[in-house]
Structure 1
Amino acid sequence: MPATTTQLSTVSGELFPQEPFDFNKTLAFLQAFPPTAGEQALAPATLTKAVSIHGRAVAFKIQATGTIEEPRLTYTLYTEQPLSKHEQQLILERIRFFLSLDDDLRPFYALCLTDLHMAAVIERLYGLHQPKFLTPFEIACWSILVQRTPMAISQRIKQAIVERWGTSIRLLDATYQAFPEADQLAQASSEELLQIVRNERKVAYLRSVIDFFQKTDEQFLRYGNYEEVARQLRKVHGIGAWSAAFILIRGLGRMEASSVEDELLKAVNRIYSPDKPLSQADVQQILQRYGSLQGYYSFYMRVSGLDLSRLPAR
């Protein structure tokens, strides 16, 4: 029988994001982001979610208590067994990375001031730090599952993987499930994965992803030479140029470069030239103006069509 909330071990404290930081825009983005739909509880100024660490689930509740220019978040971690100091630090570092709390948007905004088309975009999205996938392993698996497969079907497959090999923890309001770590999913046989994924090629790709993340240091992926990290990702079976770029930006926060794919091309044309479409070469020239912040430009462009003023309901 799972522990009740009153029986859980808790740790609380505060986090201080790099300003400007608008947590409500983070929540609105997560509410509108299909790949992680239903994987967290969202309410005004509050996020509750779970992550796996060393094979067990940790739920975390984040609440905004500051302002956009002086941001402050309170957190509570919930576990069935007490966390060591080291484990607490690992979880808090994971939260900071997931919510991009340390991203400094000011250099990006300064570049945007030289681009008249970006003024309205920045005004609407001011303070939005990129919410990543919770772990790069999760986004790598997702990039396999979603290949040539409708989003809804990919989500069902992902959820089935979480229920079979992930971890979970029960709080008063709900049970929170966390995507498995590479070591956890490695315990699945190919036959078991095939029963869920229903595609032998994707099972082989998932095996390659699992093997890669069991052997590769995440710190290297986050901070190593960009071209080398991209090259290593593209060596994984099933991860091509598009998937590697997706993982680099949305899973690792690597903003140094961005590819000009269809979604970005449509977004740029909507903002810059709705009557006379720009070419891929035109958009590549715009990207070059943003130097090592191309990833944030691409993220803001893709999000520019969303209404992030609609906050999650209680």
Structure 2
Amino acid sequence: MPAVSLTPKGPFSLAASTRFLECFTPASYDHAPDGVLRLAFPTDDGRSVIGCALRQKESAAPGAAGTVHAEYTLHTDGNARPAAGATAAEAARTQIARILSLDIDAGDFSGLAAADPVVAGLQAEFPGLRPVLFYSPYEAAAWTIIGNRIRKTQAAHIKARLAQEHGQAVDVAGRQLHAFPVPAQLRRINNIPGLTDVKTERLHALADAALDGRLDAAELRDQPAEFALTDLRELSGIGPFSAELILIRGAGHPDVFPRSEPRVHQAMAAAYGLDATAADDTSRLAAIADAWRPYRSWVALLLRAHAQDRPAAPRGIG
């Protein structure tokens, strides 16, 4: 079985990633308490499926994050096979690292705490937590279309049913998982219980866009964020909020302040002890967030996690 080793640069905890996924509604993640994170997902090129088991060893160096080992299988046309050549193996490694934000050098992330007590409080509350992403921009975009104007729990049920009924089943470290349908398969599904015909048509258009390369994670991250967001908003059914989610949580851009996510704004206003109108003043909040560079996306995620864990917490966490 192919395997890769990923050495975190800066703090990282696989256990924290697993706990996050357990509480992240779109993931519908069912954790087995054995220290293994099991994932199944379409590859970035949308033509195969990866089943992946991740483990983290303790580091011998005090304070250092242990190496993450990932064993994976590549499934094409329903058959498991080794990654074909160096290119496929590197693509798998790149995607696995991105999903856990291990492709980012976080050596300076802890340093933000010295200048900002709110960030210090968040890092102490969630030690080693980096953003755990949707498996690809394609899957993030599918989630935004499915979940538009319905409850998250309902959307998660629909997404999970699509995986179970139309996605590839894979065995990962002794458990069977179902990956979300690859774009070509999603394109062939004409009736999705719980979704309107408009949403189904938008999912078909999304599948076409993915196969055309319009949701390439590296390309989205390489261009200026405002250009990437403009390109994403050209996709059917993708508005400002969805575009930010795809770029930040799908492509894994580490340094975007989410201007269209009111829950982050509310959590931020509460954490910084701002007045009642501050949550609506995006420019004011963005100016504060400038101090988080180059990890604005990461701090925003920690704020959301803090607000979700403590909805009734007093104002201020610094």
Give the direction of change, closer, same or farther, for the CA distance of 1:263–1:182 in structure 2 (3 Å limit): same
Are 1:252 and 2:251 matched, yes or no? yes
Give 1:25 shift: 1.1
TM-score by length of 2: 0.83
Give 1:232 shift: 0.7
What letter corresponds to residue 204 of structure 2 in structure 1?
R
Q: Distance in 1 between matches of 2:14 and 2:144?
A: 26
Determine which of 273, 280, 287 is the counterpart of 1:285.
287
Q: Residues 49 and 179 of structure 2 are in contact (CA less than 8 Å); yes or no, is this contact kept in structure 1?
A: yes
Give 1:93 shift: 1.5
Q: Residues 221 and 252 of structure 1 are in contact (CA less than 8 Å); yes or no, is this contact kept in structure 2?
A: yes
Q: Distance in 2 between matches of 1:156 and 1:250?
A: 20
Residues 1-314 of structure 1: pairs in structure 2 closer than 5 A:
10-38=1-29, 41-53=31-43, 55-67=47-59, 69-78=64-73, 80-85=80-85, 86-171=87-172, 173-188=174-189, 192=190, 194-216=191-213, 218=216, 219-260=218-259, 261-273=261-273, 278-281=278-281, 282-305=284-307
Q: Distance in 2 between matches of 1:280 and 1:291?
A: 22
Give the direction of change, closer, same or farther, for the CA distance of 1:14–1:257 in structure 2 (3 Å limit): closer
Q: Distance in 2 between matches of 1:215 and 1:51?
A: 19
What letter corresponds to residue 239 of structure 1 in structure 2?
I
Moved more, 285-294 or 126-135: 285-294
Q: Residues 5 and 67 of structure 2 are in contact (CA less than 8 Å); yes or no, is this contact kept in structure 1?
A: yes
Q: Distance in 2 between matches of 1:93 and 1:71?
A: 19
Deviations 1:54-109 (A, max 9, x none): 64443211111133514201222235333323333222221111111122234343
Q: Residues 103 and 129 of structure 1 are in contact (CA less than 8 Å); yes or no, is this contact kept in structure 2?
A: no
Give the direction of change, closer, same or farther, for the CA distance of 1:216–1:84 in structure 2 (3 Å limit): closer
- Give the 3-state SS of the residue equivalent to 2:169 in structure 1: strand
- Give the 3-state SS of the residue equivalent to 2:181 in structure 1: coil
What letter corresponds to residue 221 of structure 2 in structure 1?
R
Q: Distance in 1 between matches of 2:302 and 2:273?
A: 17
- Give the 3-state SS of the residue equivalent to 1:48 in structure 2: strand
Unaligned runs of 5+ in 2: 75-79, 311-318
Q: Distance in 1 between matches of 2:286 and 2:17?
A: 27
Question: Once superposed, what is the RMSD of the aligned Cα atoms?
Answer: 2.5
Q: Distance in 1 between matches of 2:263 and 2:275?
A: 17
Unaligned runs of 5+ in 1: 1-9, 309-314
Q: Residues 112 and 119 of structure 2 are in contact (CA less than 8 Å); yes or no, is this contact kept in structure 1?
A: no
Q: Distance in 1 between matches of 2:38 and 2:183?
A: 23
Q: Residues 21 and 27 of structure 2 are in contact (CA less than 8 Å); yes or no, is this contact kept in structure 1?
A: yes
Give 1:225 shift: 2.9
Give 1:203 shift: 1.6
Give the equivalent residue in structure 2 for 1:312.
Answer: none
Q: Residues 52 and 166 of structure 1 are in contact (CA less than 8 Å); yes or no, is this contact kept in structure 2?
A: no
Moved more, 61-70 or 234-243: 61-70
Identical pairs, percent:
22
Q: Distance in 2 between matches of 1:172 and 1:123?
A: 32
Give 1:216 shift: 2.2
Aligned residues: 294
Higher relative contact order (CA 8 A, sep 6+): 1
Give the direction of change, closer, same or farther, for the CA distance of 1:60–1:120 in structure 2 (3 Å limit): same
Give the direction of change, closer, same or farther, for the CA distance of 1:299–1:172 in structure 2 (3 Å limit): closer
